[in-house]
Amino acid sequence: MASFSTWELLQELAVGCVLPAAQQGFDQVWQLLFVCLLYRLLCRTGLPPSVKHLCSLIAGVYALYQFFELHMMWVVLLSVLCYLTLFLVCYSNSRGTFLSLAVLVYLLVGELHLVDAATWLKIRGSQMVVAMKAISLAFDLDRGVVSAFPSPLEFMGYILFVGTVIFGPWISFASYKDAMESRKLKFSWFAKISGSWVKCQLCLVVSTCIAPYLFPYLIPVEGGESLDRWLDAYENAVSFHYSHYFVSFLSETTTTLAGAGFSDHKDNVKWDVTVANPVNVELPRSMVEVVTSWNVPMSRWLNTYVFKNALRMGTFPAILVTYTASALLHGLSFHLGAVLLSLGFITYVEHVLRKRLAAIFSACILSKSCSPDCTHQNKKTLWVYGINLTFSVLAIFHLTYLGSLFDSDMDNMDPGEGFLASHTIQKWSELSWLSHKVMIGCFVFYWLI
């Protein structure tokens, strides 16, 4: 009877959820996909660079209008502000710092005083991509990575590049210029697009139709009140994770379709843009691996333009500055800030503890996998695997706890409320603040040894 009920549920989900979700997802993005393809084909016609930049700008503005209508003006306004700021400090050696401050002021004033919360929530992703592109370009100008100051058309074409302006990811100015050169239309390009599209649809189905019914319908696990809370938290975390993977693979699709997201290896073009690595998140070696695999381009951006600049203050302060910058880019949301800052502490404690244990036992139990020629004496013994497995389980535990905030209740909240602090406190109180307690326990253990 139980198996029949499960089969019946799967049939109902296939008809009532899977097909409608896939259809709705396609209906929302087909115009964006078409414009990305059109831009790719235009770049293949040998148009002058200025015309390609103009086409990129027009295509990006059209995509913004399709998704945000007149609210797109806030994204365009940020783009113009970034260029004006760069122009005013074009002879300075601290363009990255000045632009970062200007972007921060704009985001704070815009969210708090100029735009209503519901609208800001819609455009937040595009605002973040625009800010990251502009700041990276400013620092690259300071460092000489980009030698010539871009014209207004070059700048706006890059900032509003249609392949990334809606769903991301961040790409460098050099990657944008490579996309303009438009490599040949080969099977590998089409295969990358097709693969990313299929993955994004599968992730949408898992997030919408499967994750909410994991326990006890699909996986017959039941227990007391405490266990049920953790099972619910795991469902919420999985649903949130796969909704993020959906956007990540969709951004791979649009980026590749528009002609970006490749690397050259001795004239061998490889379409290899990777936004998220779900395996490393769902089955992680460590929380450090989770952070770097959650959004690969953003992790690279934070490491290059925030962490390394803040490292002069020390490792731990640099980590806090990095996660604070990430929280500010995501918006003034208490629950996101709480999650990101908690991640900062958790990853730091895990890193230093495993580093200390690896030194004591001379074992490959660091947060990141050791290279084959590392100096550790113990590499593949059973107890080394056991310690690494323990930390993997601990990482899944932390992810479940942090992901418990992203439940169905937040969809019913008034965007004007943000995600109230009371919601965050309530959800983590129901789980006895266990993740934070474990983190503190690990730090005390590290301090004692």
Residues serving a catalytic function are: 330
DSSP character string of 112-155: IIIS-HHHHHHHHHHHHHHHHHHHHHHHHHHHTSS-SPPPHHHH
Burial annotation 138-170 (CB, 10 A radius, 16+ → b, else e): bbbbbeeebeeebeebbbbbbbbbbbbbbbbbb
Measured CA to CA, the distance from residue 229 to residue 396 in angstroms comes to 15
Phi, psi of 378 (to 5 degrees): -105, 115
Measured CA to CA, the distance from residue 375 to residue 362 in angstroms comes to 8
Which sign does the torsion angle of CA 330, 104, 414, 431 carry? positive
User: What is the DSSP pairing of strand 263-265 with strand 268-270?
Assistant: antiparallel
What's the 3-state SS for 285-334? CCHHHHHHHHCHHHHHHHHHHHHHHHHHHCHHHHHHHHHHHHHHHHCCCH
DSSP conformational letter for 220: -
Task: Say if residues 173 and 265 touch (Cβ distance below 8 Å).
Answer: no
**The tokens of 166 are what?**
């809606």
Spacing of C-alpha 178 from chain mean position: 23
Task: Say if residues 120 and 416 touch (Cβ distance below 8 Å).
Answer: no
Coil, strand or helix at 344: helix
Task: Say if residues 257 and 191 touch (Cβ distance below 8 Å).
Answer: no
- Rg of the chain taking only CA atoms, in angstroms: 23
Q: Where are the beta strands (DSSP E) in 128-253?
A: none
Amino acid making up residue 368: K
Coil, strand or helix at 377: coil
Give the Å distances, CA to CA, from 135 to 54, 165, 172, 205: 22, 15, 10, 35
Measured CA to CA, the distance from residue 236 to residue 156 in angstroms comes to 38
